[in-house]
Structure formats: structure tokens, C-alpha cells
């Protein structure tokens, strides 16, 4: 999760980071495309918008706080809180830091319980719940398969043979990680845990909670396309979050959602794929089959009370595809918006929970 490379990421997290990101956030959805460190802007009676921007977790972040003009001390406190929360998640869950808690877990001896922080245990619990509810479509151990199909660090040039794929699949599966209240145990030497598909959502939630503790109830936090909107924007209205039209060209909005005290995450595969012998290979790997998905789902946006769950479910539904994903989202009561490729355009499908927003 270092601030530069995009390699080594699993599933649709790669697309979200490379898409940079699929959400446009703010009072207007083009707001994130501004230059860094803009001055506070007065948008209504006593409603000042203060923005913080930077890099962390291998991507960019933007935080908007709405309220009265912040003093120098309040500005410093907010800036420190944002950075502290992001740095903590990086130190706990990075796959790029050799000394991160997650990297040390991945090197731990098989069959020996490795002590974990409460934060990492909680994220793994969320991952386990989504894994179970999605019938294995979400799996934090899929990284070896992603590399085998030519994506991420150590990517292979050619697709794996059936024999190689069968060998790799033997070390993939969240059932090969036993999670306790304060520790986790790997049961297979080939298991590699990667939380890239859910950790940014957790980081967004942690930053949002820190800002609320500092007395800033009206704010928006965005990290690499994952968003949490608290309270109202500078116009005292719900925060306007745009879902991007899948395209390799100019960025345009397909749909705009008003969020207040909710989170949103979008996954897509229209910018990160490769072609081998004329065949398009998606970077989205189904951990249940070990193979790239071949369905027509171009992007999926999920709205949830927490960003950690929106993040994880966006990945799971992207794997499941337009039909199975829509059915599962309806069954789980998930607010989800699907953009599906057609012969010459895209068509949208929304769950009843999304339509009720």
C-alpha cells in the first residue's frame, strides 16, 4: 500500500486505483479534480468548506470538512488525525511494508497462532462475513491467482496451464485461515492474505470517526474512490456522489446519488484488462473457479452504512456478475447499482434498496 505502485493489488481494487477513482465527490462531483490544497470556500451562511488532500495507501485521498472557519489549531488537529488514521491502517494492513502486521502474518509459521491488533481482526471478520454471504465470491487469499493471470507484482506473461491453476487453487481459500478473537492461524504454507479489497473502506471509516470525535460532524472522506459522507455538504444538502460512466475516454457521470451518513464504493473492470492471443482477460478473478470473469458487468456501486462493507461487497458483486450479483444483492438487502455492457452501450440495473435512496 505504498503511495506509488499499483502492483500487487487483488481483484477490483486495481481497477479502482487505476481508474483514479470512479467516483466524483463533493458539492459538485467534479470537485475532486481540483488542484491540491485549495483555500476554504464559503458556500452558505456560516458554511465554510475546508479541504485536505494527499497520498496514502497507494492512492490519493480527499477530505472535506464543513462548518465555521477552522483555526490554525483545529486545522492542524484535523490534518494530524487524518494522517494518523491512514498511517495506522498502512502499518497494519499493507502488503508493501515488510514490517506491517499483515506481512508478518503472511510469514508466520503454519499452524501457529499469530497475534493481531483489534483493527485487523475486525477487518478480517468483515471479510469473512462477506465471503460467507457471497458464497466465496469475496476472498482475501486470491492474490496468487491474480498474479498467475498477469496482474500485479510478479505477474506472469502467459495464462496458467490447467495443471498450474489446479496447484495454485490448493492454497487459495479463506477456510485456510483460522481467525480468533486476538489472533489468526494460517493452515497452509501457500496462503497469502491481501486486504486491498477492503482495507481502504476501513480506512475511510476510521478517518470519518476521528473527524466526528474532533467535533466535525459534517464531512466527506474519500480514499481511492471509496467514500463516506457524514452530515451535509456546504450547501446544507446531502453530499452528491457521482457514479462514473464506464469509458476509457472523457470522464462523465452516469448517475448521481445524494448521501448523508452513508458510504459508497464502486468497482469496475473497464480500465484494467489485458489481451492474450486476441482474447480479453479481465483482472477480476473469481476465487471459486480460479479464472477471470467473463460476464458483461462493467461496474458496480454499493451504498452501505459503513465503507468497509461497501468496499467488500462491491468486489464480491463484481465477481458474481450482473445476474447472480443482482440476485444476491436483492437477497441481502444491499443498495447496489449495476452498469452492464450491451452491444453498443451500457444499461443500468438497481436493487430495490438502491432505488429507495
- What are the residues facing 53 on neighbouring strands? 62
Per-residue pLDDT reduced to its tens digit, 292-333: 888 999 999 999 999 999 999 999 999 999 999 999 999 999
Pick one of 1.10.3980.10, 3.80.30.20, 1.10.3720.10, 3.30.70.20 as the CATH number of 106-186.
Answer: 1.10.3980.10
**pLDDT the model gives residue 279:** 64
- Look at residue 52 in the predicted model and tell me its pLDDT: 98
Pairing of strands 114-115, 183-186: antiparallel
CA dihedral 152, 120, 4, 264 (to 10 degrees): 90
Q: What is the pLDDT of residue 5?
A: 39
How do the domains of the chain map onto residue ranges? 106-186
pLDDT digits (tens, 9 = 90+) for 190-242: 999 999 999 999 999 999 999 999 999 999 999 999 999 999 999 999 999 99
The strand ranges marked E within 68-121 are: 114-115
**Of 68, 75, 61, the residue nearest 23 (C-alpha):** 61
In angstroms, the first-to-last Cα distance of the chain is 33
The band of 104, judged by pLDDT with boundaries at 50, 70 and 90, is very high
Taking residue 57's Cβ as centre, other Cβ atoms within 10 Å add up to: 25
**pLDDT of res. 218:** 98
**pLDDT at 248 exceeding the cut of 80:** no
Count other Cβ atoms within 10 Å, centred on residue 246. 20
b/e map 110-131, b = 16+ CB within 10 Å: eeeebebeebbbebbebbbebb
Amino acid at each position: 500500500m505504498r503511495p506509488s505502485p499499483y502492483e500487487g493489488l487483488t481483484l477490483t481494487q486495481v481497477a479502482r486505483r487505476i481508474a483514479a477513482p470512479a467516483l466524483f465527490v463533493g458539492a459538485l462531483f467534479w470537485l475532486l479534480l481540483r488542484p491540491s490544497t485549495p483555500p476554504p470556500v464559503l458556500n452558505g451562511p456560516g458554511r465554510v468548506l475546508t479541504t485536505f488532500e494527499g497520498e496514502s495507501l497507494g492512492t490519493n485521498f480527499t477530505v472535506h470538512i464543513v462548518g465555521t472557519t477552522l483555526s490554525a489549531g483545529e486545522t492542524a488537529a484535523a490534518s494530524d488525525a487524518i494522517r494518523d488514521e491512514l498511517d495506522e491502517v498502512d502499518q497494519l494492513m499493507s502488503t508493501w511494508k515488510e514490517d506491517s502486521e499483515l506481512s508478518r502474518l503472511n510469514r508466520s509459521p503454519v499452524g501457529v497462532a499469530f497475534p493481531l491488533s483489534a483493527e485487523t481482526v475486525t477487518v478480517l471478520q468483515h471479510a469473512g462475513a462477506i465471503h460467507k454471504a457471497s458464497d466465496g465470491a469475496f476472498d482475501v487469499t486470491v492474490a496468487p491467482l491474480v498474479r498467475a493471470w498477469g496482474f500485479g507484482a510478479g505477474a506472469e506473461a502467459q495464462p496458467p496451464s490447467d495443471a498450474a491453476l489446479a496447484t495454485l487453487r490448493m492454497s487459495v481459500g479463506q477456510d485456510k485461515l483460522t481467525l480468533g478473537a486476538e489472533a489468526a492461524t494460517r493452515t497452509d504454507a501457500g496462503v497469502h492474505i491481501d486486504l486491498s479489497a477492503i482495507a481502504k473502506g476501513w480506512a475511510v471509516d476510521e478517518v470519518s470517526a476521528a473527524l466526528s470525535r474532533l467535533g466535525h460532524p459534517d464531512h466527506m472522506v474519500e480514499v481511492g474512490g471509496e467514500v463516506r459522507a457524514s452530515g451535509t455538504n456546504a450547501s446544507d444538502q446531502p453530499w452528491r456522489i457521482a457514479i462514473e460512466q464506464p469509458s476509457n475516454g472523457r470522464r462523465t457521470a452516469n448517475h448521481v446519488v445524494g448521501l448523508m451518513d452513508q458510504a459508497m464504493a464502486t468497482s469496475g473492470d473497464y480500465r484494467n484488462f489485458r489481451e492474450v492471443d486476441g482474447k480479453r482477460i479481465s483482472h477480476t478473478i473469481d476465487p471459486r473457479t480460479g479464472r477471470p470473469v467473463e460476464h458483461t458487468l462493467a461496474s458496480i456501486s454499493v451504498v452501505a452504512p459503513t465503507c468497509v462493507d461497501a468496499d467488500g461487497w462491491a468486489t464480491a458483486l463484481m465477481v458474481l456478475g450482473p445476474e447472480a450479483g443482482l440476485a444476491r444483492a436483492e437477497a441481502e438487502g444491499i443498495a447496489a447499482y449495476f452498469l452492464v455492457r450491451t452491444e453498443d452501450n451500457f444499461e443500468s440495473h438497481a436493487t430495490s434498496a438502491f432505488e429507495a435512496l
